[in-house]
Amino acid sequence: MPSLDVSITSAQQRDQVQHTVSDDSGHFAFLNVAPGKYALEARGHGFVNQAFKQHEGFSTAIAVGPGLVSEGLVFPVNPDASISGNLTDEQDEAVREGQVLLFVNGLENGKQGIQLAAQATPDDTGHYRFSHLAPGKYYIAVLAQPWYAQHQPGITSVSADESGQAEAPRSDLDVAYPTTYYAGATDESAATVITLKAGDRFTADVQLRATPALHLLINSSAQKSPPSAGLPQVTVTPNLQQRLFGSYETYVAGATTSYSSGGMTHLELTGVPPGHYVVSFPSSDGKEAREQEMDIASDMELDPAGVSNASVTITGTVHIEGSTTFPQVRYIRFENHENGDVFGTNVDQHGEFELQHPVAKPGLYEISSFNMGGYYVSSVTATGGKVSGHTLQLAPGSSVKLSIGMSKGLGTVDGTVLRDNKPVAEAMVVLVPQEPGRNLARVRRDQSDSDGTFTLASIVPGKYTVVAIQNGWDLEWSNPEVLKPFLANGEPVEVRPEGKYQIKAKAQGK
């Protein structure tokens, strides 16, 4: 085994760091260590920085002192894995420009799904590489445009009766690359999963195949309609987005052309590959967005007047209990836990905010705050919308005015995970609020240290249950049904403003 740099950092004094180097057998030692808790980490050539028993952003600290075991530790470390490959076209020529996206299938905020992990740009030979990867399941997606493409505005298959255009021969160079997944699929459901083990070096070459580009005509009559007609006053062009694996949104790069024909001004978007898109029409003042999901497989005309308003408008005021001043940085966030939609806005010095955001369908959004100087959302009332606790129901086109009350006094829970009265390390500790499905922002987690201890900080006052789960790091803890079997053997705790609590949590197996 190669030698690695091993370090310990004092939990009490973060600037106190000690280093040593492991020998050929992996052995390391720190001598004369003062009592306390220490974060243990290792790094080296071919090994990205890893913490002891690391899970997501958590790890197990080593407790040092009389009666505590801090010797004979087994520190499992994984050598880096990598994915690399070459992008080519149908002629096996290098594709030198574009974007390569790496997705990983795993847990994100307690929910299983596929999320963007990294992105890269191919070099002059079409080569790309993702290094320092952990074991897992990955996907590759490529976004690019043919360098030789020549798009011809005014040449569409839309009938002359509909557009005022006459059909004409289309150039063979009027082409585009659809989003392409390894190994050659253009539908994400057919993408090939890349399963990496520690130290794997995987080659994922992707060949892109050009397809005739599509042309989208924008109904120009909508732009000439007066505001009183109730039609949106659209900007120059719609936005075309693709949602890859339901989580990553990317804009499609097309060219917009304006030209006159038949006494009217036409807008045309060219260079669009076939695919499934979210088409949105922002208004000229930015306060409204009309949005529609659709499959685009041929030239077509887009009419903003036929697309429903998808924007919600939220205005509101924030009232801080016992104070008329606000922290310098403050932010109100809205999150739909079902579809992952998250948005928010800053609050000004007067406690006021306003925002617009597209919402595709009705849903529940949890309201929470950030950077509010120890204050938390304690009450929410709404005009024009329905509120239950800290959850707001939103629908496309709605307009809501909120009054948000903030209170100060976050609590702390310290404790020890035990099994048969012995401390348990590496357990996932979860502070579960009442109605967790509507209050995920109030969930707190930690990982038990070598002496079984844990700390849950910044807790919004309320009633909770603390559960400790051994080998539970692959559980979808954001799903209330997943946590439900553990609640009966959890430890109830009612947190009051600025309260501090000590508890013992029973270690449960998943």
Report CA torsion sign: 208, 209, 210, 215.
Answer: negative
99 and 184 housed in the same domain: yes
Is residue 71 in some structural domain?
Answer: no
Is residue 268 in some structural domain?
Answer: yes
203 and 88 housed in the same domain: yes
Is residue 74 in some structural domain?
Answer: no
Is residue 462 in some structural domain?
Answer: yes
96 and 189 housed in the same domain: yes
So what's the pLDDT on residue 287?
57
8-state DSSP, 61: P
242 and 280 housed in the same domain: yes
Give the whole-angstrom CA distance, residue 157 versus residue 214. 9
3-state helix, strand, coil in the chain (%, to 5): 5, 50, 45
Choosing from 370, 388, 408, the residue where a domain stops is 408
So what's the pLDDT on residue 396?
87
DSSP secondary structure letters along 248-296? EEEE---EEEEEEETTEEEEEEEEEPSEEEEEEEEBTTSS-EEEEEEEE
Q: Are the beta carbons of 243 and 252 closer than 8 angstroms?
A: no
Residues 456-509: tens digit of each pLDDT: 999 999 999 999 999 999 999 999 999 999 999 999 999 999 999 999 999 999
Q: How many CB atoms lie within 10 A of CB 502?
A: 10
Which residue, 179, 184, 153, is CA-closest to 273?
179
Give the whole-angstrom CA distance, residue 500 versus residue 20. 37
8-state DSSP, 223: H
Choosing from 284, 306, 328, the residue where a domain stops is 306
Phi-psi region of 373 (alpha: psi -120 to 50; beta: other; left: phi over 0): left
Going by C-beta distance under 8 Å and a sequence separation of 6 or more, which residues neighbour residue 241?
Answer: 249, 250, 251, 252, 277, 278, 280
Give the whole-angstrom CA distance, residue 269 versus residue 253. 10
The amino acid present at 502, given as its one-letter code, is Q
Asked whether residue 366 carries a pLDDT value surpassing 80, the answer given is yes
The token pair that represents 61 in the structure block: 């600290």
So what's the pLDDT on residue 231?
41
93 and 205 housed in the same domain: yes
Residues above pLDDT 90, as percent of the chain? 64
Q: How many CB atoms lie within 10 A of CB 31?
A: 6
361 and 455 housed in the same domain: no
388 and 452 housed in the same domain: no
Is residue 72 in some structural domain?
Answer: no
Residue 410 CA: distances (Å) to CA of 203, 323, 372, 429:
50, 16, 11, 19
Is residue 122 in some structural domain?
Answer: yes
Asked whether residue 223 carries a pLDDT value surpassing 50, the answer given is no
So what's the pLDDT on residue 335?
93
230 and 133 housed in the same domain: no
Host domain of residue 96? 81-157+170-211
Q: Are the beta carbons of 88 and 102 closer than 8 angstroms?
A: no
Q: Are the beta carbons of 348 and 432 closer than 8 angstroms?
A: no
Residues 81-109: tens digit of each pLDDT: 999 999 999 999 999 999 999 999 999 88
Between 41 and 324, the higher pLDDT residue: 41
Q: C-alpha angle 318/320/326, rounded to 5°? A: 80
Between 44 and 229, the higher pLDDT residue: 44
pTM score of the predicted model: 0.86
Between 200 and 171, the higher pLDDT residue: 200
Residues 106-140: tens digit of each pLDDT: 998 888 899 999 999 999 999 999 999 999 999 99
Is residue 69 in some structural domain?
Answer: no
Q: Are the beta carbons of 12 and 37 closer than 8 angstroms?
A: yes
Q: How many domains does the chain have?
A: 5
Q: C-alpha angle 502/505/509, rounded to 5°? A: 160
Residues 309-355: tens digit of each pLDDT: 678 999 999 988 877 676 666 899 999 988 888 999 999 988 899 99
Asked whether residue 235 carries a pLDDT value surpassing 50, the answer given is no
So what's the pLDDT on residue 286?
57
So what's the pLDDT on residue 302?
81
Q: What is the dihedral of CA 294, 300, 304, 307, to 10 degrees?
A: -30
| Reported confidence tier of residue 359, pLDDT bands at 50, 70, 90 | confident
Q: At 138, which helix (H) or strand (E)?
A: strand 136-143
So what's the pLDDT on residue 233?
44
219 and 204 housed in the same domain: no
Choosing from 276, 306, 336, the residue where a domain stops is 306
Q: Reduce the DSSP state of residue 83 to 3 states and report it.
A: strand
249 and 284 housed in the same domain: yes
So what's the pLDDT on residue 321?
82
96 and 33 housed in the same domain: no
Q: How many residues does the chain have?
A: 510
103 and 196 housed in the same domain: yes
So what's the pLDDT on residue 167?
56
Q: Are the beta carbons of 244 and 103 closer than 8 angstroms?
A: yes
So what's the pLDDT on residue 230?
46
Read off the CATH number of the domain in which 287 is found. 2.60.40
Is residue 76 in some structural domain?
Answer: no
Give the whole-angstrom CA distance, residue 39 versus residue 190. 42
The amino acid present at 207, given as its one-letter code, is Q
Residues 282-297: tens digit of each pLDDT: 766 555 667 778 899 9
Q: Reduce the DSSP state of residue 440 to 3 states and report it.
A: helix
So what's the pLDDT on residue 303?
76
Residues 440-458: tens digit of each pLDDT: 999 999 999 999 999 999 9
So what's the pLDDT on residue 292?
79
Q: Are the beta carbons of 427 and 39 closer than 8 angstroms?
A: no
Residues 394-441: tens digit of each pLDDT: 998 899 999 999 998 899 999 999 999 999 999 999 999 998 988 999
Read off the CATH number of the domain in which 457 is found. 2.60.40.1120
The amino acid present at 69, given as its one-letter code, is V
So what's the pLDDT on residue 374?
79
Asked whether residue 54 carries a pLDDT value surpassing 50, the answer given is yes
Cis previous bond, 213, omega within 30: no
So what's the pLDDT on residue 340?
82
Asked whether residue 244 carries a pLDDT value surpassing 70, the answer given is yes
Q: Reduce the DSSP state of residue 213 to 3 states and report it.
A: coil
The amino acid present at 229, given as its one-letter code, is A
Q: Reduce the DSSP state of residue 163 to 3 states and report it.
A: helix
Q: How high does pLDDT run on average in the chain?
A: 88
